[in-house]
Amino acid sequence: MRDQAKESSFRSRMRNSKTQRREALAYQNNKNDPAWVAKRAKRSRLWAAALRSGKGAEATWRAWNLKAKYGMSIEQYDALLDKQRGLCACCKQAEINGRRLSVDHDHKCCPSRMTCGRCIRGLLCQRCNQVLGKMQDSPLLLKRAIAYLKRGH
């Protein structure tokens, strides 16, 4: 019973109003496109089959998210995590608060949130991932930030 409550709680978090609005807009814009409708139907069938597999919504969502955004499986993620010894590729520290390391990719290759899968650079802690994002993956901006920190005061 407790597991079912956890599952439904997770599902409700994933189905927030922003996501629903985005899906509704996508449907309105693409409902007459047969290729889009077929792709959406296939995605729905795969998602339903994954949920029926008994792995649970959270594990299913994680696997789906890794595959959709980065073209990688949980096994590939785990292999990369083992290669990095469970540490951030940038600061060499473990992630805090029990979070998973984020997948980092080269935004010059794939500027959107989705990647081709070939431009994955490594796994980063949330802090390093945000710093690189805010600095637009620019070595020049990072050098300027280092110079600023060295000046002191």
Q: Are residues 78 and 45 located together in one domain of the fold?
A: no
Question: Can you tell me the distance from the alpha carbon of 67 to that of 88, in angstroms, rounded to the nearest whole number?
Answer: 21
Q: Are residues 100 and 153 located together in one domain of the fold?
A: yes
pTM: 0.63
Q: Are residues 49 and 77 located together in one domain of the fold?
A: no
Average pLDDT over residues 6-16: 53
Write down the pLDDT at residue 2. 47
pLDDT digits (tens, 9 = 90+) for 49-77: 766 776 667 777 788 788 888 888 889 99
Write down the pLDDT at residue 79. 94
Average pLDDT over residues 3-27: 62
Q: What is the CATH number of the domain that holds 109?
A: 3.40.1800.10
Average pLDDT over residues 22-46: 82
Write down the pLDDT at residue 6. 47
pLDDT digits (tens, 9 = 90+) for 72-114: 888 999 999 999 999 999 999 988 777 889 999 887 887 777 7
Residue 66 resides in a domain: no
Q: Are residues 75 and 129 located together in one domain of the fold?
A: yes
Q: Are residues 140 and 94 located together in one domain of the fold?
A: yes
Residue 118 resides in a domain: yes
Q: Are residues 49 and 87 located together in one domain of the fold?
A: no
Q: Are residues 48 and 84 located together in one domain of the fold?
A: no
Q: Are residues 22 and 80 located together in one domain of the fold?
A: no
Q: Are residues 20 and 51 located together in one domain of the fold?
A: yes
Write down the pLDDT at residue 13. 52
Q: Which domain holds residue 36?
A: 1-55
Q: Are residues 79 and 152 located together in one domain of the fold?
A: yes
How many domains does the chain divide into?
A: 2
Residue 62 resides in a domain: no
One-character DSSP codes across the chain: -HHHHHHHHHHHHHT-HHHHHHHHHHHHHHTT-HHHHHHHHHHHHHHHHHHHTTS-HHHHHHHHHHHHHHS--HHHHHHHHHHTTTS-TTT--PPSTTPPPEEEE-TTT--SSS--SS-EEEEE-HHHHHHHHHTTT-HHHHHHHHHHHHH--
Residue 60 resides in a domain: no
